Amino acid sequence: MSPLLHVRNLSVQSPERPILHEVSFTLEPGQILAVTGESGSGKSTLALSLMGLLPPGFQAHGSIRLEETELSTLSQQDWCRLRGKRLGMVFQEPMTALNPTRRIGTQIGDTFRLHTTLSPREIDTETRTLMEQVGLSEAGVNERAYPHQLSGGQRQRVLLAMALACQPELLIADEFTTALDARTQAVMMALVTRRCETQGMAVLMISHDLGLVRHYADHVLVMKDGTCVEQGPTPSVFDAPHHPYTQALLAMSLHGAARTPLTPLSVFTAPS
Amino acid sequence: MIERPNRTLRAGSILLGIVLLPATVITLLDGGHAPPIDVLHRYAPPSLLHPLGTDPFGRDLMVHVLTGAFNSVTIAAIAVCLATIVGTALGLIAAVRPARAIMGLTDLGLAFPPVLIAALLVTALGASATGEILAIALFGLPAQIRITRQAARSILIQDYIAASRLAGRGPVYIMRRHVLPNILPLLTVQATSSLALAILSDAGLSYLGLGAPPPRPDLGRALASYQIHIFDHPLLVAIPGVTIMLLVLGFNMFGDGLRDALDAAHEEHTP
Amino acid sequence: MTGMAVFRILLERLVLLVVASLVIFAAMNLLPGDPAAVMLGLDASPESLAALHQKLGLESSLPARYLHWISAFIRGDLGQSYIYDVPVRSLIGERLQSSLPLILLAMLLSLGAGIPLGVIAAAKRGTLLDTGLMGFLQLFKSIPDFWLAMMMTFLFSLTLHWLPSSGFPGWHAGALPALRALTLPAIALAIPQAAITARFMRSSLIETLSQDFIRTARAQGYSRRGVLWRIALPNALIPVLTLAGIQLPVLVTGTIIVESVFSLPGCGKLLLEAVNQRDIPVVQNLVMLIVASVMVLNVLMTIFVRWLDPRLEADPS
Amino acid sequence: MKTVSILLTVLAVGFPASHVPGTAQAAETRDTLSIGLAIEPPGLDPTRGSSEAIGMVTYGNIYEGLMRLDEQGTLKPLLAQDWHISPDSLTYDFTLHDGVRFHDGTPLTCDSVKFSLLRAGAADSTNPHRAIFSQIADISCPDSLHVRIRLQHPYGSFLYQLAWNDAAILSPASAAQNISHPVGTGPFVFSEWRRGDHLTLTRNPDYWGARPTLRSVTFRFMPDPLSASNALLAGELDAYPSFPSREILSRFAGNTQLQVIRGSFPFKAILALNNARRPFSDFRVRQAIAQAIDRKALIQAVADGDGTLLQSHMAPDDPDYVALPDRYPYDPDHARALLKEAGVASGTHLTLTFPPIGYARDSSELIAAYLEQVGLNVTLQPVEWPTWLGQVYGQGQFDMTVIAHTEPHDITIYDRTPVYFHYHSPVFHGLVEQYEATADMTRRHQLSVQMQEQLAQDEPNVFLFAIPRETVMNRHLKGLWTNQPIAGCPVAGVSWAP
């Protein structure tokens, strides 16, 4: 099977300092690759460079190939055609990642509007189907609701729906379950894995929750200070870590330290 | 407070310096009086004796305008001080109490056209600097109250305020020790920007004849009386106008620069 | 927005209006100067003055006069002008023909120029264009409006003869001459406002562009331009519109000055003249109308902004 | 009476009887006129208010009185074609023109005259000269075209007073609405008034006298000299009587369409002193103040050197005017000495109140500077007209004020009590009494000269200057008043040269 995503020697430089150093990996359709490592190790920058959304002033070198398309030399216009259609992304801050002044149905529908020629009526239908799939309808959430009327988990579902709308080949999920309770987390992951199995969607999952990684990921990539210290199939990395950093990470995880308690964000997740 | 004066701040200071330094020197030398009348030398062109020429009364235009600038800034400064002191006090009260009356009056103040307040005040009190200062202060007041209230509230929700309150500190102590020092930089920036606005107000009011009476030189009044000379003696109209603009621009830039500098300092201390 | 909240806002405004009416009444009736003396002029005899006082109802007590005025105002009766001896209502109606279009035009110009300029500066943030534009706007924010009006008259009407320097021919003279007469005053009025709007628009847009949901929209496939105009702008406009509402009395004030400079027969000039001549019915009713309409517009703006920004609905403060 | 025939002759000249029919040639010349005025009238009823602006629009255009003044200030008959004054100067018999109709269609009769003049003097009248009309004992109507007026006391100026704006003859049917819908007997009919902008009159097709050549005249209210000059240069205005700013007149120099014509008007600028207050009650102080001010320089600065120094309360163009020597020339040293003698300490505080008008503002600023040089500390107090009229003029609460009296023949105000400057002189009072009781013109002139001399000597106020009146108008315009003997701008005789 030819890889869907092929990243070779990717380096990213911020105006102040280097952030990523010579990262290389591949990802095949239907597979889940987990990127893990401590905060500031460059995980999010990696995700953003895959989406072509690095902040202004950041410079990337190396090659990113999505099937035959070389992304690093893509024009802005082509990037826009790719994002949302072939590449989907879910962010980690459910509280702020949605536009507060637009209805969630509109925001989900936007993905269709940007990449398909569906009629408004068809978009409405598709949006409703999607909302059902991610379990929003089940929770009684209407497409006319505004983000502030939703709980954190519900918002994350909206974001997921937006990312999955056009059946992307690659989903980039940046800590997208971190703020959620264990049950919701499981439901969301089930949604994602179903897509992997039925549509061959590949997932690049950024998480420092090693329990989650071990349970869902096919491959693991461990990062430290912008470099990839270890990568391989999940069982082999977890059972026989080579790098001392990985070993340390795993050791901490076993003591339960890596499983962060609920972040302060959870204060806001009470339904309004 | 400010470690690195930025470019805007520096430019603002230079603009203000260009006008205010000579204005202060001349005012100190003359006691703020209008330059002497000399009807034999009316409308004199610029010369060594009169660098910008003379006005319809034969007064030196440069001295007249600079003294006027000093007077305008003085009036604006007093008005802003007044508005800041009263507005901060009321804003702090409104921050801790429901104080519907204060906020209601603030709304009312915002709905009244400022010129009208001035017209009424000036007619009631007679044309005087006092009336004008009160008018300018009055229309700066609502904004001052709102800003103070908002800023104070953002401080009051902090944990250390709750701690201080638990320690049995009264509201006056909390205001004086915690709130005021924290909002002081904001108030300083606000006062600087208000100064620019106050100078504009002073010019407008004097132009309409609602400002301080002669003989003390005033820029707005000078423009009102010189404006018919726009064809035959354009300098008479250009110079006072440009002077007002320099002052307002100077204070605006100074205020902006100050804000940027404070923001920068703030960011450095709270990474 | 709940009915209760609307009711509370309205009640508050009503109380404020009553306070405003008291302030206006007290100010106008405690001022020195005698309207009758103005009407009769230099040679008025004391008997004539007394007769006129009687006729104008200036002899009755202050509370009686206040009640008389305010009850008539509520009925829509604005009384009779002392000076012109015509109904104040028709006087104001006549003047609104130039004042209302002037304010509207100035508002349109200031938003129409200020918003795009602010957006451009924000889009090109940090470039020379942005710095230059902001400096330019800072300059225009600092120019006294009456001086700007003088300079524009000098340039565009006295020197270039493009537009009339003063006066208003009235709408019956045709839309074009009327609009031409309003052009310079509206521009003079709009420029400082546009500068304020543009600077505010810029910072509001920059603030909005740094929000997380912008990145979400980009990840969804929005182009840089699309996200600016379709996602960020509507959100960034909300505080700008709020500001426009707050600036309204400032615009009214500007109208007074600009109408004086361009000798436009508008409400601002009427107000100033009426104050100077102690035409009490005109001042009282006109100011009351201005304050009331500013308040009504503010309430409408509040409701509009709440409608635009659903978050505010949840938070009544 | 001898004057009657003279007046009738002039009447024939002033209102040429030649009814020029509308020939083809006449149709080609312009028949509209646009006149700029500085002040908008507050209303259009001259019998209710004394604002000069009312007269500028209505005098001789909308309203007419029994008598009128011509451009030179000479008294002429108007609605009265003849009159007779009884030897005791108490009874006036007038014969009215026949066939005169008001704009509302009612005919002019003795009853209209009786109504108008009695209304002016009634107890509830707000006529500016109510005091004069209230001296009328009664008015009787022998028939519809004859009027007999009886006075309570002889009053020499009565006939003259009948030519004033506020003696207009009104239609009883419409008098109450005159303030906004004026109805008179004049050659022009009120058409439209856009308050704050302009006012239009159109030709009265049923006018009893000569048919005016102009079809309509528009008065545009343009207080700002700059925009007025601009409108004149652009041809938007045909004329601007009494142009408010001398400094701009140079813009019209060499213009092929416009000319500036100098005329006269009874403008008497004074520094009024409150004679009832110390230190002005002391003659030496008043003299000192007069000598402290360089009035020639004042004329230079305020009127561009283009004015006449006044020594008494009369303008040079008044027929009774006499040139008097300058009794109190500029002499600051003497002024200081006089002040010292009068016990006025150096640094004494005085207030100079002035109304919102250019000459007063400029003069006051200069006077304050001059008085400071002799050791007086002057506070300038600008006030609005209502405050000036109420406090200064009405209640006499002021130290000093600068004002110009612009009414003709008003020297007798110095005998009025109360008057704001509080001048009381038995000698002057005697002169005025004699003057009012005399109908003989020569004797009246002698008395007038004596009054002027008395004022010049007593210096109750500092007499400042008179300035000429400048009219800017199109070169092809004929017949427009360039003098202003009374507030008015009658346009019945105005025409465009082909």
Distances (CA, A) of D112 to C97, C283, D138, D440: 40, 37, 14, 30
Q: Where are the domains of chain D?
A: 24-62+186-264+469-496, 67-175, 268-466
Is D305 in a helix, a strand, or coil? coil
Dig out the tokens for B150 from the structure: 């908002």
Q: Are B87 and B141 in contact (CB under 8 A)?
A: yes
Is C105 in a helix, a strand, or coil? helix
Question: How does pLDDT run across A20-52, given as a tens digit for each residue?
Answer: 888 999 999 999 999 988 877 888 889 888 888
Question: How does pLDDT run across D172-181, given as a tens digit for each residue?
Answer: 999 888 888 9
Where residue C38 falls among pLDDT bands split at 50, 70, 90? low
CA distance B226 to B204: 15
**pLDDT (mean) for D298-310:** 88
**pLDDT (mean) for B202-222:** 86
Q: Is D361–B214 a contact, with Cβ atoms under 8 angstroms apart?
A: yes
Question: How does pLDDT run across B92-142, given as a tens digit for each residue?
Answer: 888 887 777 787 778 777 777 777 777 777 767 777 788 889 989 988 898
Per-residue pLDDT, D22: 37
Q: Which of D42, D50, D230 sits opposite C83 (nearest CB)?
A: D42
Taking CB atoms and an 8 Å cutoff, what residues of chain C touch D405? 42
**Residue range B3-269 in CATH 1.10.3720.10:** yes
Q: Are strands D136-143 and D146-151 parallel, antiparallel or unpaired?
A: antiparallel
Establish if C270 touches chain D: CB-CB under 8 angstroms: yes
Q: Are strands A18-27 and A5-13 parallel, antiparallel or unpaired?
A: antiparallel
Question: How does pLDDT run across D40-80, given as a tens digit for each residue?
Answer: 887 898 887 767 888 999 999 999 999 999 998 889 999 99
Of the candidates D414, D403, D338, D347, the residue with the CA atom closest to the CA atom of residue D376: D347
Q: Is C215–A91 a contact, with Cβ atoms under 8 angstroms apart?
A: yes
Neighbours of D357 (CB within 10 A): 16
Q: Is B203–C154 a contact, with Cβ atoms under 8 angstroms apart?
A: no
Per-residue pLDDT, C2: 60
B45: DSSP letter: P
Nearest CA in chain D to C169: D197
Instruction: Give the Cα-Cα-Cα angle D56, D59, D62 (nearest 5 degrees).
Output: 115
A263 vs B257, more confident: B257
D61 vs C49, more confident: D61
CA distance B212 to B72: 10
Per-residue pLDDT, A188: 83
CA distance D247 to D235: 20
Of the candidates A248, B205, B178, A110, the residue with the CA atom closest to the CA atom of residue D382: B205
Where residue B4 falls among pLDDT bands split at 50, 70, 90? low
The 3-state secondary structure of D309-365 reads ECCCCCCCCCCCCCCCCCCCCCCHHHHHHHHHHCCCCCCEEEEEEECCCHHHHHHHH
Distance from CA of D46 to the nearest CA of B (A): 28
Q: What counts of helices (H) and strands (E) characterise chain B?
A: 10, 0
Sign of torsion over alpha carbons B30, B34, B39, B45: positive
D19: pLDDT strictly greater than 90: no
Q: Is C142–B124 a contact, with Cβ atoms under 8 angstroms apart?
A: no
B253: region left, alpha or beta (phi > 0 left; psi from -120 to 50 alpha) = alpha
Is B1 in a helix, a strand, or coil? coil
CA distance B29 to B12: 26
Per-residue pLDDT, D24: 39
Q: Which residues pair with D182 in a beta bridge?
A: none
ipTM: 0.77
- A206 phi/psi in degrees, rounded to 5: -95, 125
Of the candidates D480, D471, D14, D486, the residue with the CA atom closest to the CA atom of residue D214: D480
Taking CB atoms and an 8 Å cutoff, what residues of chain D touch C265? 194-197
Where residue A269 falls among pLDDT bands split at 50, 70, 90? very low
* pLDDT, averaged across chain A: 84
Taking CB atoms and an 8 Å cutoff, what residues of chain B touch D301? 37, 39, 42, 56-58
Question: How does pLDDT run across D107-159, given as a tens digit for each residue?
Answer: 999 999 999 999 998 887 778 788 889 889 999 999 999 999 999 988 888 99
Where residue D409 falls among pLDDT bands split at 50, 70, 90? confident
Per-residue pLDDT, D9: 33
Per-residue pLDDT, D312: 93
B172 vs B14, more confident: B14
Per-residue pLDDT, D13: 35
Q: Are strands D258-263 and D469-474 parallel, antiparallel or unpaired?
A: antiparallel
CA distance D220 to D348: 47
Where residue D204 falls among pLDDT bands split at 50, 70, 90? very high
Q: Which residues pair with D93 in a beta bridge?
A: D84, D148
Question: How does pLDDT run across D240-282, given as a tens digit for each residue?
Answer: 998 988 878 888 988 899 999 999 888 999 999 999 988 999 9
A10: pLDDT strictly greater than 60: yes
Q: Is D230–C33 a contact, with Cβ atoms under 8 angstroms apart?
A: no
Question: How does pLDDT run across B33-64, given as a tens digit for each residue?
Answer: 778 888 888 888 888 888 888 888 888 889 99
B269: pLDDT strictly greater than 90: no
**pLDDT (mean) for C75-79:** 88
Establish if C14 touches chain B: CB-CB under 8 angstroms: no
Q: Which class does domain D268-466 fall in? A: alpha beta
Amino acid at B215: P
Question: How does pLDDT run across A200-218, given as a tens digit for each residue?
Answer: 899 999 988 888 888 889 9
Per-residue pLDDT, C33: 67
Q: Are strands D462-466 and A59-66 parallel, antiparallel or unpaired?
A: unpaired
Where residue D28 falls among pLDDT bands split at 50, 70, 90? low
Mutation to test the A interface, candidates C130, C216, C313, C315, most A Cβ within 10 Å = C216
Neighbours of D105 (CB within 10 A): 11
Where residue C221 falls among pLDDT bands split at 50, 70, 90? confident
Q: Which class does domain D24-62+186-264+469-496 fall in? A: alpha beta
Q: Is C52–D126 a contact, with Cβ atoms under 8 angstroms apart?
A: yes
Distances (CA, A) of D460 to A125, C215, D280, D316: 97, 85, 9, 19
Per-residue pLDDT, C39: 66
Assigned superfamily of A5-86+168-267: P-loop containing nucleotide triphosphate hydrolases (3.40.50.300)
Where residue B87 falls among pLDDT bands split at 50, 70, 90? very high
Question: How does pLDDT run across D79-92, given as a tens digit for each residue?
Answer: 999 999 998 889 99
Q: Which residues pair with A172 in a beta bridge?
A: A89, A204
Taking CB atoms and an 8 Å cutoff, what residues of chain D touch C45? 130-131
Q: Where are the domains of chain A?
A: 5-86+168-267
Half-sphere exposure of C86 (CA within 13 A, CB side): 19
Neighbouring chains of B at 3+ CB pairs under 8 Å are: C, D
Q: Is D381–B126 a contact, with Cβ atoms under 8 angstroms apart?
A: yes
pTM over 0.90: no
Neighbours of C236 (CB within 10 A): 25
Tokens 């105009």, located at residue:
C229
Q: Where are the domains of chain B?
A: 3-269
Sign of torsion over alpha carbons D452, D457, D461, D465: positive
Q: Is A100–C231 a contact, with Cβ atoms under 8 angstroms apart?
A: no
Q: Are strands D348-354 and D376-382 parallel, antiparallel or unpaired?
A: parallel
- Radius of gyration from C-alpha coordinates of chain C: 24
D218: DSSP letter: E
Distance from CA of B104 to the nearest CA of C (A): 7
Per-residue pLDDT, A145: 87
Per-residue pLDDT, C254: 85
Dig out the tokens for B172 from the structure: 């006056």
CATH number for region D67-175: 3.90.76.10
Per-residue pLDDT, A259: 43
Nearest CA in chain B to C277: B123
- Radius of gyration from C-alpha coordinates of chain A: 18
C230: DSSP letter: I
Nearest CA in chain B to D303: B56
Question: How does pLDDT run across A142-186, given as a tens digit for each residue?
Answer: 888 888 888 888 888 899 899 988 889 999 988 877 777 788 788
Q: Which residues pair with D470 in a beta bridge?
A: D262
* pLDDT, averaged across chain B: 84
Dig out the tokens for D207 from the structure: 């006018």
Of the candidates D398, D427, D402, the residue with the CA atom closest to the CA atom of residue D414: D427
Half-sphere exposure of D204 (CA within 13 A, CB side): 26
B196: pLDDT strictly greater than 90: yes
The end-to-end CA distance of chain A, in Å, is 48
Of the candidates C287, C290, C295, C304, the residue with the CA atom closest to the CA atom of residue C242: C304
